[in-house]
Amino acid sequence: MPHPNDPALRSFIPVDPASDFPIQNLPYGVFSAKDGLAPRVGVAIGDYVLDLWELEQDCRLPVTDLRIFSASTLNPFMALGPKAWSATRARISELLRHDNPELRENPELRARALVPMAQVTLHMPIAVSGYTDFYSSREHATNVGVMFRGKDNALQPNWLHMPIGYNGRASTVVVSGTKVRRPRGQLKPPTAEAPSFGPCRRLDFELEMGVVVGQPSPMGEMLSEAQAEAMIFGFVLLNDWSARDIQQWEYVPLGPFQAKAFATSISPWVVTREALEPFRLQGPVQEPVPLPYLRQARPNNYDLELDVALRAADMNDGLRICRTNFKYMYWSSVQQLVHHASSGCAMNVGDLLGSGTISGPEKDQRGSLLEISWNGTEPIELAGGIKRTFLEDGDSLVMRGWCQGDGYRVGFGEVEGTIVAAE
Ligand code: MN
């Protein structure tokens, strides 16, 4: 049987070469249709969602517990572990292949199991157990450091020795399309004598990838590189909305708190680690060499294109404001997970790890408005007369990501969020 990542595979379902969801991808999500059934697990293929619950009821999948795919989150499926993930993906690939009549020539099953994407609502794909956000792009950390501490002290002394992170809030991780209310908080501009409380005036986005942890690790135990990698179920696009003015006043000495707690948006489709395998590459050289527990024997970065578009309420189309690549990240997702567990911290099924803002070496590769507008000093023009330093009410932000194969792309769809006024 060909491997599900084989570039030569074709589905009997027509898939445009520019589609994010060819047979080589098969990302998992949670959807509901107009049939009145509860949200359940599906896989994206071209312009359709494949209903795994229907296939399972028809005894077509290697997973036999009917509660796995009728669940409203991917957590029960993730808990089955990497062997079940691989076997299920291989079987779905087989069912969708152009040269397999099993589903193709079964109109009754096709009608039940293939739902046009245009008719579904996509939900939060996972129940987020814990959310941790890292700070692992050297270019982003350097840009922010130069802005606030000057060129000579741009990187903090610990930055090249470990992936820096903080514990965020799982309660406000939301799926693409959820409106984001402008946060309120304590503000104290450097020129003000005393703080005041009110709507954030410097609202920003952060372009990130999210790692979905699909297996637990016990409290008290460290992880090897191989163990950490095997726990990663897949990846999503992630927008770590940030209130820069709240952050600036509150972050010393314990780091971000309310500035990041009001919303984090993720894309609805979880692209599996296995589907990204052909796009694996070596990350930047790490100098100084990390401590032994953080050393990597394998390349753990991915060649994954990213772009961000911003659309003001009175614009028809968004304007691209960033084009970068996940491959620039200094610390890999595997190193982040190894470091996260290194103290003895337990990891859970459904944990979400934000990569940190993904910026690249070039000016148009900056993954936040803080960097793009250089702390508000260099406004960008979106369209005739519409300028931005930070986000205004009504602004809509769309992030996209994909790995480009030869004649196909393994894509993530998008994560969108629109800002609404503070109460
Ligand atoms: Mn962040």
**C-alpha 207 – ligand 1 centre gap (Å):** 8
How does pLDDT run across 154-209, given as a tens digit for each residue? Answer: 999 999 999 999 999 999 999 999 999 999 999 999 899 999 999 999 999 999 99
Distance from C-alpha of 126 to C-alpha of 214, rounded to nearest angstrom: 10
- Is residue 140 part of the annotated active site? The answer reads yes
**C-alpha 208 – ligand 1 centre gap (Å):** 7
Report the run of H or E that residue 251 belongs to, with start and end: none
pLDDT in tens, the chain (423 residues): 899 999 999 999 999 999 999 999 999 999 999 888 999 999 999 999 999 999 999 999 999 898 999 999 999 999 999 999 999 999 999 999 999 999 999 999 999 999 999 999 999 999 999 999 999 999 999 999 999 899 999 999 999 999 999 999 999 999 999 999 999 999 999 899 999 999 999 999 999 999 999 999 999 999 999 999 999 999 999 999 999 999 999 999 999 999 999 999 999 999 999 999 999 999 999 999 999 999 999 999 999 999 999 999 999 999 999 999 999 999 999 999 999 999 999 999 999 999 999 999 999 999 999 999 999 999 999 998 999 999 999 999 999 999 999 999 999 999 999 999 998
Kindly provide the b/e burial profile for residues 314-330, where b requires at least 16 CB atoms within 10 angstroms of the residue's own CB: ebeebbebbebbbbbbb
**C-alpha 361 – ligand 1 centre gap (Å):** 18
Tell me if 28-123 shares its fold with 131-420. no
**C-alpha 253 – ligand 1 centre gap (Å):** 17
Q: CA geometry: angle at 288 spanning 285 and 294, to 5°?
A: 80
- Among residues 3, 98, 123, 140, which one is catalytic? 140
Which of 334, 322, 323 is closest to 286 using CA atoms? 334
Which of 326, 328, 346, 329 is closest to 337 using CA atoms? 346
Helix, strand, or coil here: 276?
Answer: helix
**C-alpha 109 – ligand 1 centre gap (Å):** 43
Query: What percent of the chain stands above pLDDT 70?
Result: 100
Distance from C-alpha of 157 to C-alpha of 89, rounded to nearest angstrom: 43
Helix, strand, or coil here: 101?
Answer: helix
**C-alpha 358 – ligand 1 centre gap (Å):** 9
Residue 293: what residue type?
Y
Distance from C-alpha of 339 to C-alpha of 321, rounded to nearest angstrom: 32
Four-way CATH pick for 28-123: 2.70.98.40, 1.25.40.10, 2.30.30.230, 2.40.30.10:
2.30.30.230
**C-alpha 134 – ligand 1 centre gap (Å):** 6
Superfamily of domain covering 131-420 = Fumarylacetoacetase-like, C-terminal domain (3.90.850.10)
**C-alpha 251 – ligand 1 centre gap (Å):** 13
Q: Is 344 left (phi over 0), alpha (psi -120 to 50) or beta?
A: left
Which of 210, 232, 268 is closest to 20 using CA atoms? 268
For the chain, the structural domain boundaries read 28-123, 131-420
Token pair for residue 163? 């992936």
